[in-house]
């Protein structure tokens, strides 16, 4: 990726030369498009020039698309619909294209209508979930906008099933703004068919009595048949069977995957879609799938991919995790249900089972970006299996929807309520509105959300904080709560108090202590930030301590306007020690530091011990005592690149090559390039732009500078050292030659604990469930040892 300025400079320095025109045959591969997006094991679909040309010609004819049209796309380009339907199709006829960032529409669905009006769009694409979001947004707005939609000829709606009620509701709400009654076209397409290939141009009149809309009739050249599943035997009209397709726009198979290609086609050459449907009067209606998957917001997630991750979670019986869809009547999209059998030890311990529920929920959120609608702990005998041991997901879905699991669902709801301290109803309009926002974020009934439950205890993630921040500013005009305020006031009641008093916290005195989890009677744990200064890395860890012990994080000074960064390591340690004592006046204390933060935690522990306090637990998370040599290696560019990698703005591979590329550039261009490389959706999730990233990089560079002056000295009573795979070299060398140097600075021999993952990933989605278990066990053992003076079990 390059900025416009970089391209302009390159053009000015480059001689104009003639480039030979490439030629291609119809059977030559034009595109390799991955199926499944970011889920599961992707296959590369071969789309030839012939496939694309046939598809584009057929689409253009079906949609009557010409150079006079204006199209609008907001779908990201990792989806075939964006590439073919929304880009190549208008390009093929010379139509005008309007490209909008996905986050601009998802954050404000009504913006979609405003874009149509502003650019006089004639054709666009909107999955059913967006139609539902627009319906909900319009119903919530006290004064809805009044866009002129008379220009819009049709909206293609594919990617998931279209409930008739949602579509008709959409048309009814927008009819006053000029939207034609026949403008909504439910559709069907796959990567393997060059996106949309079947359109329902008769919606809604022909579908009015059905629950779900038909997907309609095929484009020219595409043939449809419904056959007995797994065979080439056609069924009579109206019978349900496997939908199979044939035509010049259908792929010939998958790149370098003979097995998958053979499985995708019948013996007589028809492509097997994996969907079940019926043909009546030439119109296709889908009724289910032969493949086990869940479609959430238009994205297909394979059940076995979700289950394979959950199967590795500690506390779940192997081969007893099932992921399957449910779709409550009237819902705009399918919802995910995760059923699992807990091990006997976990099932017998309510707190442990609650932690496992958190782990399951967070694994889905962190890997796939959405929450399960239902978590269902079941005994092993409640999982129907075939003679070969395969869980019968479709049977479990039928049992769920028939009410067979009602008792189990009620039991888990009661368990969660007890663990969160019971239900306290919201009081007043502000709390009621916040409950609605929490319900929107967590796909929950607002009446079930307690006003005193913590945001993270309910399932919130670090990204949800930013979504909540945007929602609050939308529902409460003029209120702009800093992220730190939301972190420090995570319940509905606490946030309502901030809003009602007008005390946003933006101008509050600096307090490094951020309470991420405040329930529990155990010794509180204070965790010091890594070298980036921020504490969001601890959010997903803190929720595992619910009802066990409070979890506080320490955040660097300098993020808020007017805050002056620390000028010395000693000043930072002193500020943190004072803040900890303000929160917990007397010991015993439990401290930990991640990476750079471990050195700070060591200095804080020394200060507390010098004041006569006990520090019963001090954890160094993958940091040796001597950090100056590493800090000396980190110039501003390395620090900025590490920050970008830490925030998932660039990949680990990019981080390895970027410093050399960026060093010759001026600082502003270095930072601009890093932000330009970041996925726009990730920037939106983090509420980050160039100005904010620049300020953050400057703060991180300042902390690096403090590290260059740091030399450890003195000692603490004890330490637990957590060893992950280092940035360079082997884990054993890292342990023997670096981490064990802590023995020079502790009065007792440190304990060394191996943890999975690498330095930057040990608290990430893949490893956080394992790390929390190891950390909690070591913390408990350390506190028992110091309180009793003996090892556990003695």
Query: Which residues are marked as active site?
Result: 595
Q: How far apart are CA 57 and CA 763, in angstroms?
A: 50
First to last CA, the chain: 61
Token pair belonging to 468: 């909540």
203: its two tokens: 């919606």
Find the angle CA(170)-CA(176)-CA(180) to the nearest 5 degrees: 65
**Cis (ω within 30 of 0) for the bond into 204?**
yes
Please state at what angle helix 768-788 crosses helix 350-368, rounded to 10 degrees: 150
310 CB neighbour count, 10 Å cutoff? 20
Q: Count how many Cα atoms sit within 13 Å of the Cα of residue 497 in the half-sphere of its side chain.
A: 9
Residues contacting residue 683 through CB under 8 Å, at least 6 positions apart: 649, 675, 689
Token couple for 216: 């309609």
How far apart CA 31 and CA 87 sit, in angstroms, is 14
How many Å is the Cα radius of gyration of the chain? 29
Beta strands in 648-743, from DSSP E residues, in sequence order: 720-725
765: its two tokens: 């989605």
Host H or E run for residue 580: helix 569-583
Give, for 437, the enclosing helix (H) or strand (E): helix 428-442
> Is there a contact between 457 and 519 (Cβ–Cβ < 8 Å)?
yes
Query: Which has the closest alpha carbon to 776: 596, 547, 535, 530?
Result: 547
- Contact of 203 with 185, CB cutoff 8 Å: yes
- Report the side by side order of strands in the sheet with 96-99: 96-99, 70-73, 123-125, 154-157, 184-190, 195-199, 217-218
Residue listed under structure tokens 């930013």: 466
The helix-helix angle for 636-646 and 667-677 (nearest 10°) equals 20
CA 742/CA 730 separation, integer angstroms: 18
| 592 strand-pairing partners | 527, 619
Taking 3-state DSSP, the helix, strand and coil percentages for the chain, each rounded to the nearest 5, stand at 45, 20, 40
Q: Judge residue 378's burial from the number of C-beta atoms within 10 Å of its C-beta, 0-12 exposed, 13-18 middle, 19 or more buried.
A: middle
Q: Which residue has the tokens 């009410």?
A: 403
How many C-beta neighbours within 10 Å does residue 647 have? Answer: 21
Chain mean position to CA 225: 38
Query: In Å, how far from its chain's centre is CA 739?
Result: 34
- Other beta carbons within 10 angstroms of residue 95's beta carbon come to 18
Report yes or no: 596 and 603 within 8 Å, Cβ to Cβ: no
Answer yes or no: are the C-beta atoms of 723 and 762 closer than 8 Å: no
Q: Which residue has the tokens 């950390």?
A: 775
User: Among residues 99, 145, 105, 149, which one has the least CA distance to residue 127?
Assistant: 105
In the structure encoding, which two tokens stand for residue 755, read together? 């943890």
| CA dihedral over 63, 64, 66, 71, signed as positive or negative | negative
Q: Is 761 exposed, middle or buried (0-12, 13-18, 19+ CB in 10 A)?
A: middle
Handedness of CA 624, 625, 626, 627 (dihedral sign): positive
**Cα–Cα separations (whole angstroms), residue 460 to 352, 358, 466, 513, 543:** 19, 10, 10, 20, 9
Alpha-carbon distance of 230 to 207, in angstroms, equals 29
């Amino acid at each position: 990726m390059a900025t416009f300025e970089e391209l302009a400079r390159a053009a000015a320095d480059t001689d104009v030369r003639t480039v030979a025109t490439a030629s291609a045959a119809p059977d030559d591969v034009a595109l390799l498009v991955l199926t499944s997006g970011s889920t599961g094991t992707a296959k590369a679909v071969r789309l030839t020039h012939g496939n694309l040309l046939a598809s584009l010609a057929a689409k253009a004819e079906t949609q009557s698309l010409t150079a006079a049209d204006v199209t609008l796309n907001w779908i990201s380009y990792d989806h075939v619909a964006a590439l073919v339907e929304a880009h190549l199709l208008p390009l093929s006829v010379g139509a005008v294209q309007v490209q909008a960032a996905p986050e601009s529409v998802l954050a404000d669905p009504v913006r979609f209508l405003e874009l149509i009006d502003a650019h006089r769009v004639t054709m666009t694409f909107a999955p059913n979930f967006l139609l539902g979001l627009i319906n909900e947004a319009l119903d919530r707005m006290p004064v809805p906008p009044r866009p002129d939609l008379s220009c819009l000829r049709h909206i293609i709606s594919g990617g998931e099933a279209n409930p008739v009620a949602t579509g008709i509701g959409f048309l009814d709400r927008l009819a006053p703004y000029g939207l034609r009654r026949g403008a909504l076209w439910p559709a069907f397409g796959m990567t393997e068919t060059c996106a949309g290939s079947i359109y329902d141009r008769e919606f809604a009149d022909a579908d009015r009595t059905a629950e779900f809309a038909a997907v309609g009739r095929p484009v020219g050249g595409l043939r449809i048949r419904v056959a007995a599943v797994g065979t080439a035997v056609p069924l009579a009209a109206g019978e349900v069977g496997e939908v199979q397709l044939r035509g010049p726009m259908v792929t010939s198979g998958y790149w370098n995957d003979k097995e998958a290609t053979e499985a995708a086609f019948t013996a007589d050459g028809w492509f097997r879609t994996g969907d079940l449907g019926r043909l009546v009067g030439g119109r296709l209606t889908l009724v289910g799938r032969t493949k086990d998957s869940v479609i959430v917001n238009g994205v297909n997630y394979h059940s076995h991919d979700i289950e394979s991750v959950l199967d590795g979670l500690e506390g779940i019986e192997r081969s007893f995790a099932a992921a399957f869809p449910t779709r409550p009547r009237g819902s705009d999209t399918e919802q995910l249900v995760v059923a699992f059998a807990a091990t006997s030890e976990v099932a017998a311990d309510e707190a442990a089972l609650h932690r496992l529920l958190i782990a399951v929920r967070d694994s889905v959120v962190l890997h796939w970006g959405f929450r399960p609608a239902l978590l269902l702990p079941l005994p092993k005998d409640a999982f129907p299996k075939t003679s070969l041991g395969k869980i019968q997901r479709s049977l479990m879905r039928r049992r769920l929807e028939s009410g067979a699991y009602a008792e189990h669902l009620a039991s888990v709801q009661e368990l969660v309520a007890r663990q969160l301290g019971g239900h306290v109803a919201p009081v007043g309009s502000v709390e009621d509105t916040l409950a609605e926002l929490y319900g929107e974020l967590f796909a929950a009934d607002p009446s079930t959300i307690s006003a005193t439950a913590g945001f993270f205890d309910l399932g919130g993630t670090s990204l949800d904080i930013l979504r909540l921040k945007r929602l609050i500013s939308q529902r409460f005009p003029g209120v702009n709560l800093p992220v730190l305020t939301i972190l420090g006031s995570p319940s509905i009641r606490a946030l309502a108090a901030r809003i009602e008093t007008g005390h946003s916290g933006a101008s509050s005195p600096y307090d490094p202590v951020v309470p991420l989890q405040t329930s529990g009677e155990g010794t509180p744990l204070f965790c010091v930030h890594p070298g980036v200064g921020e504490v969001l890395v601890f959010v997903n860890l803190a929720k595992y301590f619910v009802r066990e012990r409070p979890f506080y994080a320490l955040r660097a000074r300098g993020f808020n306007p007017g805050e002056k960064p620390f000028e010395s390591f000693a000043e930072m340690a002193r500020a943190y020690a004072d803040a900890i004592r303000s929160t917990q006046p007397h010991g015993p204390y439990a401290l930990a530091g991640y990476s750079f933060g471990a050195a700070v935690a060591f200095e804080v522990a020394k200060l507390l011990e010098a004041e006569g306090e006990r520090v019963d637990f001090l954890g160094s998370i993958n940091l040796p005592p001597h950090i100056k040599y590493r800090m000396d290696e980190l110039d501003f560019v390395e620090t900025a690149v590490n920050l970008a990698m830490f925030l998932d703005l660039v990949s680990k591979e990019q981080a390895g090559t970027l410093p050399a590329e960026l060093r010759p550039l001026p600082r502003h261009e270095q930072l601009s390039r890093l932000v330009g490389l970041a996925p726009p959706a990730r920037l939106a999730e983090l509420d980050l732009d160039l100005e904010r990233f620049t300020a953050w990089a400057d703060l991180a560079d300042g902390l690096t500078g403090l590290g260059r002056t740091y030399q450890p000295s003195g000692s603490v009573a004890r330490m637990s050292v957590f060893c992950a795979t280092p940035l360079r070299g082997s884990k054993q060398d890292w342990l023997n030659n670096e981490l064990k140097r802590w023995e020079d600075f502790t009065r007792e021999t440190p304990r060394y604990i191996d943890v999975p993952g690498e330095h930057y990933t040990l608290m990430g989605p893949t490893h956080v469930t394992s790390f929390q278990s190891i950390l909690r066990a070591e913390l408990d053992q350390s506190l028992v040892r110091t309180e009793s003076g003996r090892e556990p079990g003695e």
